[in-house]
Structure 1
């Protein structure tokens, strides 16, 4: 399970060595990305891909739980997406007719999970990009994860039958990549290490 407990015992024996020259030679425990993933990465307002109150703005809430069903309370989420016309705020998008800009829709956001393992973004409903169905690209960082996990959250009530990326996911697991509609936007629940319904992740 992802070790997010703040009050439990340390997994490895604590050392009293204060000078590296005093340490014995040998193999040290493996290092993961945490628990310091927040340092230098927490920016005020980074969860807003558009300013709150922008016409057409919706909320996108994402959560992460481990195989025990416990919230991953120190998770960090990143969100990338196209705008309502299916164009990314990147000069690498061949469909973009003007230079990318920091003004208006940014297309990229970052948010830190709360104690319940959840974070909420303010964004726009993505449009269709080329032959891909409308979707949010989601990245997950957390203590115990060696590299960020990549997944997608597709819009509900949208034809997904021809999406080329979703087609590589076994048919019985595709529903795990569909967000739920909420009163003011969408919600997507990520499960890590779950035995039967773990969220599908992609290798990039």
Structure 2
């Protein structure tokens, strides 16, 4: 259990839970890269597809959500197409998935959202240092933190929390066929309503040590 391997932490996070800030702080402490929106820029450069297309589709379900839910279909994580369908949401997801796997293969890092747990978890043998985290909080905490961070009033914060978390849930279902809030998808689930973000980072670090993964 002590062999050296890339530590790759995926963080699924409810909007307002502080998951992004936890991931960023943890990455700085561990001396590894934290990838969130940076994934969009890297994917755009590698695919030669404008970054705006990736931003428009970022953590949002494709246009055939109802059909996908009813049929249970999900895109194959094969090589992305370079044909006329290059900017279709499913193809953009393939490009992004390819980048996430490349990053995880090359270095220890933390990846925020974007179905990272599903993409890397499908190939467990290739990523033995994978740790899948989900960060959530009660509604009151989500709204309060959104008010503090986004500098908005309670009404706007409530709207953002509901909208963005719904989009993330639909995105996950669209591309994985699974439930974003199914705790079976993750190794460690943390409620940040009860502890602060610094304590959350310490908890994740302690868990990694217990797993026998070198930091």
Instruction: Give yes or no for TM over 0.5.
Output: no
TM band (smaller chain): under 0.3
TM-score by length of 1: 0.27
Q: Which has the higher contact order (CA 8 A, sep 6+)?
A: 2
The structure that is strand-richer by fraction is: 1
- Of structures 1 and 2, the larger Rg is shown by 1
Give the structure with the larger helix fraction: 2
TM-score normalised according to structure 2 size: 0.26
